[in-house]
Amino acid sequence: MTNLVRVRYAPSPTGYPHVGNIRTALFNWLFARHHGGSFIVRIEDTDVTRKVKGAVRAILDSLRWLGLDWDEGPEVGGDCGPYFQSQRLEIYKETAERLISQGDAYHCYCSPQRLEEMRAEQVRRKQPPGYDRHCRDLTPEERAKKEAEGIVPVVRFKVPLEGRTRFNDLIYGDVVFENNTLDDFILLKSDGYPTYHLANVVDDHAMEVSHVIRAEEWISSTPRHLLLYQALGLEPPQFVHHPMILGPDRAKLSKRHGAVSILDYREQGYLPQTMFNFLALIGWSLDDKTEIMSRQALVDNFSLERISKTGAIFNREKLDWMNGVYIRSLTADEFFEAVQPYLMMDMAAGEALISDEQYVRKILPLVQERAKKLADVPALTRFFFELQLDLDLQTLIVTGMDVQSTRKALEVVRERLEKLEPFDENSLEALLRPLATELGLKTGQLFGTLRVTATGETAAPPLFQTMAVLGRKRCLKRIEAALDKIGKELA
The whole-angstrom separation of Cα 384 and Cα 363 is: 8
Q: What is the pLDDT of residues 357-371, one digit of tens each?
A: 899 999 999 999 999
Quick check: pTM over 0.85? Answer: yes
The whole-angstrom separation of Cα 368 and Cα 386 is: 20
Asked if pLDDT for residue 355 goes beyond 80, the answer is: no
CATH number, domain of 47, equals 3.40.50.620
User: Residue 442: which domain range?
Assistant: 393-490
Helix (H) or strand (E) holding 290: none
Give the residue-averaged pLDDT of 394-403: 94
Is 295 part of any domain? yes
Mark which of 192, 219, 242 sits at the end of a domain. Answer: 242
Asked if pLDDT for residue 117 goes beyond 60, the answer is: yes
In percent, the amount of the chain with pLDDT more than 70 equals 96
Do 407 and 298 lie in one domain? The reply is: no
| pLDDT score for 1 | 46
Do 231 and 252 lie in one domain? The reply is: no
Do 212 and 119 lie in one domain? The reply is: yes
- Is 255 labeled as catalytic in the residue annotation? yes
| pLDDT score for 250 | 84
Do 427 and 476 lie in one domain? The reply is: yes
Is 399 part of any domain? yes
Do 64 and 146 lie in one domain? The reply is: no
Do 28 and 63 lie in one domain? The reply is: yes
Is 199 part of any domain? yes
Asked if pLDDT for residue 325 goes beyond 60, the answer is: yes
| pLDDT score for 361 | 94
**219 DSSP assignment:** G
- Name the pLDDT band for 353 (thresholds 50, 70, 90): low
Is 388 part of any domain? no
Is 224 part of any domain? yes
The whole-angstrom separation of Cα 74 and Cα 81 is: 9
Q: Which of 255, 289, 373, 477 is catalytic?
A: 255
Mark which of 274, 301, 320 sits at the end of a domain. Answer: 320
| pLDDT score for 248 | 85
N-terminal to C-terminal alpha carbon distance within the chain = 84
Do 344 and 416 lie in one domain? The reply is: no
CATH number, domain of 433, equals 1.10.10.350
Is 213 part of any domain? yes
The whole-angstrom separation of Cα 300 and Cα 468 is: 46
Do 185 and 235 lie in one domain? The reply is: yes
Do 108 and 214 lie in one domain? The reply is: yes
Query: 261 has which bridge partners?
Result: 18
Give the residue-averaged pLDDT of 294-306: 97
Count of domains for the chain: 4
Is 82 part of any domain? no
Residue 332 burial (10 A CB sphere; 0-12, 13-18, 19+): exposed
- Name the pLDDT band for 2 (thresholds 50, 70, 90): very low
Length of the chain: 491
| pLDDT score for 488 | 86
Do 206 and 125 lie in one domain? The reply is: yes
Q: What integer best gives the mean pLDDT of the chain?
A: 94
Is 79 part of any domain? no
Q: What is the pLDDT of residues 76-105, one digit of tens each?
A: 999 999 999 999 999 999 999 999 999 999
- 310 SS3 class: coil
Do 258 and 217 lie in one domain? The reply is: no
Query: 39 has which bridge partners?
Result: 7
In percent, the amount of the chain with pLDDT more than 90 equals 89
| Cis peptide bond prior to 461, omega within 30° of 0 | no
Do 110 and 234 lie in one domain? The reply is: yes
| pLDDT score for 349 | 55
Q: What is the pLDDT of residues 187-231, one digit of tens each?
A: 999 999 999 999 999 999 999 999 999 999 999 999 999 999 999
Asked if pLDDT for residue 348 goes beyond 90, the answer is: no
362-363-367-369 Cα dihedral, nearest 10 degrees: 0
Mark which of 208, 242, 276 sits at the end of a domain. Answer: 242
